[in-house]
A and B are shown apart, each in its own frame.
Chain A
Amino acid sequence: MEQKDLGTYAQNTWCPGCGNFAILNAIKTVLGELNAEGLPLENVVLVSGIGCHAKIVDYINVNSFYSIHGRVTPAAEAIRLGDPKMKVIGFAGDGDAYGEGIEHLIFAAKRNIDITMVIHNNRVYGLTTGQYTPTSPQGYRGRSTPEGTKELPINPLELMLASGATYLGRGTSHGIELLKKLFKEAILHKGFSLVDVLQVCVTYFNMYEYYDKRVYELKDHNPLDYQQALNKIREWDYNRDARIALGTFYKRGSPTFEEGFFKQAVPPPERMEKIRLILESSI
């Protein structure tokens, strides 16, 4: 499968200035590069959940699985388990992956299954018109919390590190070059990889200026060092004002879940013979 432009005829319905465009453009570029480097595009499946982010699969002309809210990860895992050639990239919102579907994300990290999760973390529910999410800062006033949220956000990277993820990165929708680098690294990483993208919702939670003032790229950071990774991940807790590090926090080689799963099916005649043997042994 060779394509110059990975686009489709679907009309893009994201708001002008939406952070999702950066993710869309970055992933298209990365897929093009990987394709040029020898990855057949038919070996790629994109999975998405429900929310603004999820439309991304309609806009890219490769295999896709448009799942339901919170359920990107388990579908992506099973697709990966279906064929050792597959590169499975899951796209999910913060409400999707860190809220409704958090159990699946923790377990996928725990299994170190070789899939890539890209989280469109705009820290607000967009498509349902502006409610708080698991990563909204405390006090966030949304339509379901007009007095401001009383709970603290989770730090998803800290949670993923604790769960056993073997690649963790963070970028922003104002930094497409870094996104490309992180996506490519994550896709090529053997094991569970997650890139948290501080993707801005221009309509309900415009954080462009806030992020622009605080972000910096990690330098002299050793991603093989768990403690360094944890320290950098904890530098900003998604709540208090702090410097926000971007880049590759953590990267570790480790056995993956799917090894040993790719077995040949038994052909029907042999299958029937084995069934007969089982029945005989039950007499």
Chain B
Amino acid sequence: MNEVSFLIGGKAGFGIDKSGTVIAGILNRMGYRIYIYRDYPSLIRGGHTFSIIRASKTRVACHLNKVDIILALNQDTFNFHKARLKEDSLIISDSDVVKIEGVSNRVIGIPITGMVKEENAAEIMRNTCVIGALCKAAGISWDILDEIFRKEFTKEIDINLKIARRGFDAAREEKRIEGLGQAPLAMLTGNQAAGLGLIRGGLKTYISYPMTPSSPILHFLAEMAPDFGLKVIHPESEIGVVLMALGASYMGERVAVGTSGGGFCLMTEGLSFSGMSELPVVFIVGQRPGPSTGLPTYSAQTELHFVLNAGQGEFVRLVVAPADPEEAYYWSAVSLALSQKYQIPGIILTDKNMGEGTFNFDLSSMGEIREEPPLLWDRKSEYKRYLDTENGVSPLAFVPDRNAIVKVNSYEHDEYGITAEDQQITTRMNDKRLRKATYLAKDLEGYPCVKTYGNKDSSTVLLCWGSNKGVCVEAAERSGLKVVQPLVLWPFPVKQFQDALQGVKKLICVENNATGQLTRLLKAQGFGTDKQILKYDGRPFSLDELQERLSGV
């Protein structure tokens, strides 16, 4: 079997999310490459939540609408997802609470609710029972289940295994999934990878106010804090977050903040302050559908122009949009370094799909991450925080320094950092700050700012950014198209983009928004696109859906 997809569904509070991770862990252990799409509403208990786990011989980063096995812990799961069944798909259900009707698929019905009661176990353990049944049905050995369970369940392992065994013994083999013999890879969410990338980049301080889909970065780094000597702070508001970050930056700390569009709204005064004071801060902006509260737990690519233009006044910023955990790791580290080197704000645009999706992660595939040491004061001449230099970057000194007085300022200021409203100083300091863009762009030429995939000879290109890359690459590979993905969106990597478009005649832009934000950015850069495939229902493209939309253009 080259690939297989599972759907597990139930109410929030059933442990669906954990079950998805366990199933992916089992398949990963068997040598499959995995991807998990998580779909859940904005509530704590109830509703309908599900995960689609896709396992494949080769790396995958998107899901399919159709699935091979549905694990139904409640009636809704069957009712809502029966359209995903193929002729030979299998349903494993809790026969105590789920009635399967109107389909001709094979069904393994197990009285899971009753079994869990008999064992005096918590209701949440129904999911361990169904995983046991899944393993038997797929011919997966008990040993693998045992190994993954012992890793994933640190508490109550005995009872979990006992319940899983009841499910295992009650099921029958129906759909054999063979191991592939490939070495398993690490599994990470985009948010975890971004957190690790920040750590790799020398993060000292992470400050965040909880907001979906970026809260998991806060949780992850808070957990990592003792081990890596990090300061992780959750203050009163996003305004508090960004101003604390600027204070930490003033102290010479590499600092990042994480939020979503709504929180970033509150941070924009601090973003502009970062531009003026030349205090570097990295902002992770996890996109979700808006306007306003929108769909808090779903996904979108709607903040590109917001982050490109946010903040009053004119200042240089770095904007990157990684597509998967490996890119999130790499660009989080690079953004921290470049943001400090150029003393500018750096923005990492992620989204719910990437941030909360689980992917394989291969550190060895990533290539070297260049060190970009900041320019430090030579201690020879009198210290001026805003010394005007050829590339606009002033040497840094950090307090406390016996020989330097460090004055930063949100007002226009002179080289010492003292307020100035003089015309000449105003022009000169604007030039100094804006000049950094040219040098940053030159530096970025040495980075993979634009990537290409698929059939490199194709004259038709799928253009994408952020988390759409995975689905675009797979669709392109299946239909002989080329994919071009700009990873750096500001300063726009014009040369690399031109190179990627050599010999290309038709550009189809694929985005998770309603207005074609990348198309607009490209137009401003002098690049026209031919077609747009847009989706703005809060859900990512599945591979089958994108293929269908592609056949229409």
Contact = CB atoms under 8 A, between A and B. Distances in A.
B82 interface: no
Interface in A96-114: 103-104, 106-107
Contacts of B231: 81, 261, 263
Contacts of B417: 64, 66
Nearest to B184: A283
Interface string B415-429: 001110000000000
A107 B205 CA distance: 19
Main secondary structure of the interface of B (DSSP, over half): mixed
A132 to B, nearest CB: 23
A74 B247 contact: yes
A154 interface: no
B405 interface: yes
Contacts of B399: 42-43, 45, 63, 79, 83, 86
Contact of A78 (B196, B246, B413): B246
B186 A264 contact: no
A282 B186 contact: yes
Interface string B342-371: 000000000000000000010100000000
B419 A264 contact: no
B251 interface: yes
A77 interface: yes
B418 A10 contact: yes
A268 interface: yes
Interface stretch (A50-58, A194-202, A221-229): A50-58
B240 A104 contact: yes
A50 B196 contact: no
A74 B239 contact: yes
Interface string B535-551: 00000000000000000
A48 to B, nearest CB: 10
B410 A68 contact: yes
Contact of A79 (B233, B236, B250): B250
Contacts of B361: 279, 282
A149 interface: no
Contacts of A76: 247
A5 interface: no
B247 A10 contact: no
Interface in B248-284: 248, 250-253, 269-270, 273
B522 interface: no
Nearest to B247: A78
Given A42-B400, A71-B239, A283-B28, A63 B229 contact: no
A78 B233 CA distance: 10
A81 B200 contact: no
A67 B410 CA distance: 6
Interface in B161-202: 184-188, 192, 196, 199-200, 202
A66 B196 contact: no
B408 A42 contact: no
A61 interface: yes
Nearest to B420: A10
A103 B240 CA distance: 9
A274 B235 contact: no
A71 to B, nearest CB: 4
Contacts of A71: 239, 243, 269-270
The CB with the most chain B CB atoms within 10 A, among A1, A76, A106, is that of A1
Contact of A81 (B248, B405, B408, B409): B248
A67 B273 contact: yes
Contact of B199 (A47, A62, A104, A271): A271
Nearest to A110: B236
B285 to A, nearest CB: 20
Nearest to B361: A279
B244 interface: yes
B255 to A, nearest CB: 8
Contact of B228 (A64, A78, A79, A266): A266
A129 interface: no
Interface in B444-497: none
Given A62-B405, A63-B406, A78 B251 contact: yes
A185 B235 CA distance: 27
Contacts of A61: 405
B91 to A, nearest CB: 30
B243 A78 contact: yes
A162 interface: no
B407 interface: yes
B381 interface: no
B407 A64 contact: yes
A275 interface: yes
Given A50-B410, A64-B408, A10 B419 contact: yes
A131 B236 CA distance: 28
A134 B248 CA distance: 30
Interface string A37-49: 0001011010100
B229 A268 contact: no
A163 to B, nearest CB: 12
22 contacts: A40-B402, A43-B399, A58-B419, A63-B399, A63-B400, A64-B408, A68-B270, A74-B239, A75-B246, A78-B248, A79-B399, A81-B233, A82-B253, A83-B251, A86-B399, A263-B229, A263-B231, A265-B228, A268-B202, A278-B196, A279-B186, A279-B361
Closest 7 CB pairs of A and B: A78-B247, A82-B251, A74-B243, A75-B247, A78-B244, A66-B409, A42-B400
Interface of B: 28-29, 184-188, 192, 196, 199-200, 202, 204-205, 207, 224, 226-231, 233, 235-237, 239-241, 243-248, 250-253, 269-270, 273, 361, 363, 399-411, 413, 417-419
Interface of A: 1, 8-10, 40, 42-43, 45, 47, 50, 55, 57-58, 61-68, 71, 74-79, 81-83, 85-86, 103-104, 106-107, 261, 263-266, 268, 271-272, 274-276, 278-280, 282-283
Given A1-B402, A75-B243, A81-B205, 9 more contacts: A1-B403, A43-B399, A45-B399, A68-B410, A79-B248, A83-B400, A103-B239, A263-B226, A265-B202
